[in-house]
Amino acid sequence: MDNARKAGRVVVLGSASQDLYMEMERHPTTGETVMSGDIVQRFGGKGGNQAVAAARAGAETLFVGRLGDDAPGRTYLDRLVGHGVDVTRVVFEPDVPTGTALIMLNAERDNMIVVAPGANHHVNEGQVAALQDLGPADVLLMPMELPLDVTAAAIMAAAGQGTRVILNLAPYAPLSQEVLDACFLIIVNEKENELMEGDGLRAPEVLVTLGTDGSRWNQLVVPAQQVDAVDTTGAGDAYCGALAAALVAGTDRREAMVAATASSAATVQHLGAQPDPKWD
């Protein structure tokens, strides 16, 4: 551990996927074929989205994960670099495609998402070992698109080093109570919160994102910004990344939630989970 380090880092261990967008009038029902506009490749995966949001919020940010050794993976790495994310702990996985999400966006701007994890499901103990230098000043931010055993091992290892772990329990899958207890904060949406509680799991610090109703950290409520949303994909990720950046900078809870809310509001006003680095 680097004891001389002053400012902490946001370290995201998570998924990075290409998002293939199809815009259509309405979503298909089972057995039905519908036509879409041209397919558009964008950049996503909850981990990559959160890392980009943290970096854009001003935190020194590292992304730890696996990409396929293919054109989408190489392009993705360049994008992360363009956003100022440290990618020195990213590994290219040979013979496995980069994770891919199919995102179907209808005229009401509602989405349906299916994820093929690809290289994300090859994240293993090597990436847990890459967290060895994390310390008390750092925040480990983790969404849930990696193998569950790796997620649990990373949380326990980082917490054991005194690092604050923020777990975005999305998409929801049950982890043990011991693992949840090791986290500094659990971030869930209302559905995920219901599923967590339904499994009899509890966490002392829970932040629930409430969509257009804002967000609630235990009893502290911050309203949402009222904006015209064109694409809500990645709104939660933008929230998590900006929140982690604010907390690692020492911002108090309310101000951190306000910053996270602004990040989320900015994200829903453009197509794609991540902004284009050229927009800066």
Torsion angle defined by CA atoms of residues 101, 177, 205 and 244, in that order, rounded to the nearest 10 degrees = -40
* Among the listed residues 149, 216, 206, the one whose alpha carbon sits nearest the alpha carbon of residue 176: 149
Single-letter residue type at 42: R
What is the closest distance, in whole angstroms, from the C-beta atom of residue 52 to ligand RIB in the complex? Answer: 10
Q: Which is nearer to ligand RIB, 46 or 79 (CB)?
A: 46
Candidate list 237, 252, 276, 280, residue with the active-site label: 237
Using CA atoms, how far apart are residues 152 and 183, in angstroms rounded to an integer?
10
Is 97 a binding residue for ligand RIB by CB under 6 A? The answer is no
| Window contacting ligand RIB (CB under 6 A); options: 154-162, 179-187, 219-227, 232-240 | 232-240
The 8 Å CB, 24+ separation contacts for 36-39 are 36/104
Is 117 a binding residue for ligand RIB by CB under 6 A? The answer is no
Q: Which is nearer to ligand RIB, 15 or 61 (CB)?
A: 15
Q: Which is nearer to ligand RIB, 44 or 68 (CB)?
A: 44
Interface with ligand RIB (CB under 6 A), residue from 73, 118, 234, 241 = 234
What is the closest distance, in whole angstroms, from the C-beta atom of residue 49 to ligand RIB in the complex? Answer: 5
What is the closest distance, in whole angstroms, from the C-beta atom of residue 56 to ligand RIB in the complex? Answer: 15
Using CA atoms, how far apart are residues 47 and 29, in angstroms rounded to an integer?
30
Using CA atoms, how far apart are residues 8 and 247, in angstroms rounded to an integer?
10
Using CA atoms, how far apart are residues 93 and 140, in angstroms rounded to an integer?
23
Residue nearest to ligand RIB (CB): 44
* Among the listed residues 165, 238, 237, 151, the one whose alpha carbon sits nearest the alpha carbon of residue 203: 165
Using CA atoms, how far apart are residues 48 and 277, in angstroms rounded to an integer?
14
Residue 10 in tokens: 């946001």
* Among the listed residues 152, 142, 135, 159, the one whose alpha carbon sits nearest the alpha carbon of residue 237: 142
Show the CA angle centred on residue 273, arms to residues 192 and 88, nearest 5°: 100
SS3 category, 201: coil
| Window contacting ligand RIB (CB under 6 A); options: 26-34, 41-49, 68-76, 125-133 | 41-49
| Window contacting ligand RIB (CB under 6 A); options: 42-50, 62-70, 73-81, 218-226 | 42-50
Interface with ligand RIB (CB under 6 A), residue from 11, 14, 23, 44 = 44
Interface with ligand RIB (CB under 6 A), residue from 20, 115, 123, 139 = 115
By rule CB under 6 A, what string of x and - marks binding of each residue 149-188 to ligand RIB?
----------------------------------------
User: Cis bond leading into 204, ω under 30°?
Assistant: no
Residue 276, Cα to own-chain centre: how many angstroms?
A: 17
Q: Which is nearer to ligand RIB, 98 or 127 (CB)?
A: 98
Is 49 a binding residue for ligand RIB by CB under 6 A? The answer is yes
Active site residue 95: no
Q: Which is nearer to ligand RIB, 113 or 224 (CB)?
A: 113
Could you list the residues that contact ligand RIB (CB under 6 A)?
Answer: 17, 19, 44-46, 49, 101, 113, 115, 145, 233-234, 237, 273
Residues forming the active site: 237
